[in-house]
Amino acid sequence: MSPTSKGLAARIAWLRQGRRRSPNPTGPFLTLPFLVILLVTFLGFALEHVLRPVIPLIIVDRGGNALVIGIVATIHSLPSVLFRPLIGALVDSGRQRSMFRLGAIVAAVSPWGVLLPGTVLLGAVRFVQGSAWAVYAVTTRTLMARMAPNGRRGEASGYYAAMPALAMLIAPSAGVALYITTGEVGPVVVASALGLATLALAGRIAIRTAVAEPATATPKGRTSVWGRIVERSALPPTLMVTTFLAAQTIFTVFPPLYVVGIGVGVETLAVYYPIYGLTMVLSQIFSGRLSDRIGRGNATRLGCTIAAVGLATAAFGDGLFTFSLGAAAYAVAVAMVIPTMSAMAIDRAPEARLGSAMATYSIGYQFATGASSLAWGALIALADFKAAFVAAIAFQAITFLLSLKFSRHS
């Protein structure tokens, strides 16, 4: 068979795969099952975002600094890097519901460990919470991907991405307010309750299983354990989401340290986090369908440009106002790039490997969070926030260049 014929055959196989995955690419998909997935996704992110701004405050109150905050954030991300490929393989084997329930149970119980004394134990608790988060994120993302119509994967991914944005709008400020008024107990109780709510919804989740792939869909020679659990088609969007999201922890993990450093009361975070979340939610309304219309590459490069402008604003500005402006610009960029990368991962994935593809792709989120938290914590401790912002701009440039290689024609 000639190279042209092989390319044509591969294109036909890809189109057939898309038809199997979504038989009605133009019809409505905001059905009750899809809305349930969105609801449990919101609850899961709300659980995490109630605790995420509180953990740095607890560390500071226990005598820690920026480096310790970065180390604990990295510990939380480790399980995702270590376990997500295996979780994806288990999801592909038909264990979506049991995996989701396991994640919800651990997510509901583990917040109580935050009340244990000391920073070392706090790190151990965050490792457990990161494990639950890995299970939770892979299962919900895979279910969303299986319900997404072919020509509207960017839109579906946008709705999915709007859930963490909505959680960011509400949960962090609630967590900070609870911590100020009740100490550690209030955020823990709320986080645990959110975990129980997701568990209660587990039985209402509609599970759509993968369709068997033709023999040609799986690359020959994939016999190693690594090859079975890591989906290579998802590696390009995984790499790009890692470099793009490297900047996010500056605006989500380190704001408590920033306001303490400039002498502003931590109660201002109850205003800052809603601004960041509201900007992202509103942006999702307009950007969810963007990559379906202008292409994955164009949407990615536009988002990287906006992110770089926001980071520059925060770096060369002065005070919480310019920090918030930079965060808002970066939130707009996230609303563009993250649904685009998610849709790209779905586009490239074989049907029977969708769980593994979503697990592989979502590692990028946690690797970006963990590695950048450690890097920014060390850089801020040794230099200042401005150095971190400038370094983060470089990662946006890297993502821009990667998009030219991997999504030039998409």
**Domain ranges, residue 37:** 30-206+231-406
Confidence of residue 18 (pLDDT cuts 50, 70, 90): very low
132-174 per-position pLDDT tens digit: 878 887 888 888 877 777 777 777 888 887 888 788 788 888 8
pLDDT beyond 80 at 230: no
Q: Provide, rounded to the nearest whole percent, the portion of the chain with pLDDT above 70.
A: 85
**CATH number, residue 298:** 1.20.1250.20
In a domain? residue 3: no
pLDDT beyond 50 at 13: no
pLDDT beyond 80 at 355: no
In a domain? residue 301: yes
In a domain? residue 217: no
Confidence of residue 239 (pLDDT cuts 50, 70, 90): very high
pLDDT beyond 80 at 37: yes
Range from 92-106, 296-310, 353-367 that averages highest in pLDDT: 296-310
In a domain? residue 242: yes
Average pLDDT for the chain: 80
pLDDT beyond 50 at 4: no
- Whole-prediction pTM: 0.69
In a domain? residue 214: no
In a domain? residue 20: no
pLDDT beyond 70 at 26: no
177-188 per-position pLDDT tens digit: 899 899 889 999
Mean pLDDT value across residues 197-203? 81
- Higher-confidence residue: 360 or 389? 389
Q: Which amino acid is at 62?
A: R
- From CA 133, how far away is CA 138, in angstroms rounded? 9
Helix H, strand E, coil C: the string for the chain is: CCHHHHHHHHHHHHHHHHHHHCCCCCCCCCCHHHHHHHHHHHHHHHHHHHHCCHHHHHHHHCCCCHHHHHHHHHHHHHHHHHHHHHHHHHHHCCCHHHHHHHHHHHHHHHHHHHHCCCHHHHHHHHHHHHHHHHHHHHHHHHHHHHHCCHHHHHHHHHHHHHHHHHHHHHHHHHHHHHHHHHCCHHHHHHHHHHHHHHHHHHHHCCCCCCCCCCHHHCCCCCCCHHHHHCCHHHHHHHHHHHHHHHHHHHHHCCHHHHHHHCCCCHHHHHHHHHHHHHHHHHHHHHHCCHHHHHCHHHHHHHHHHHHHHHHHHHHHCCCHHHHHHHHHHHHHHHHHHHHHHHHHHHHHCCHHHHHHHHHHHHHHHHHHHHHHHHHHHHHHHHCCHHHHHHHHHHHHHHHHHHHHHHCCCC
In a domain? residue 13: no
291-349 per-position pLDDT tens digit: 788 888 899 999 999 999 999 999 988 888 899 999 999 999 998 898 888 888 888 88
- From CA 11, how far away is CA 8, in angstroms rounded? 5
In a domain? residue 6: no
Question: How many domains does one find in the chain?
Answer: 1
Question: What are the φ and ψ backbone dihedral angles of 208, each rounded to 5 degrees?
Answer: -105, 120
Of residues 319, 326, 108, 303, the one with CA closest to residue 200? 108
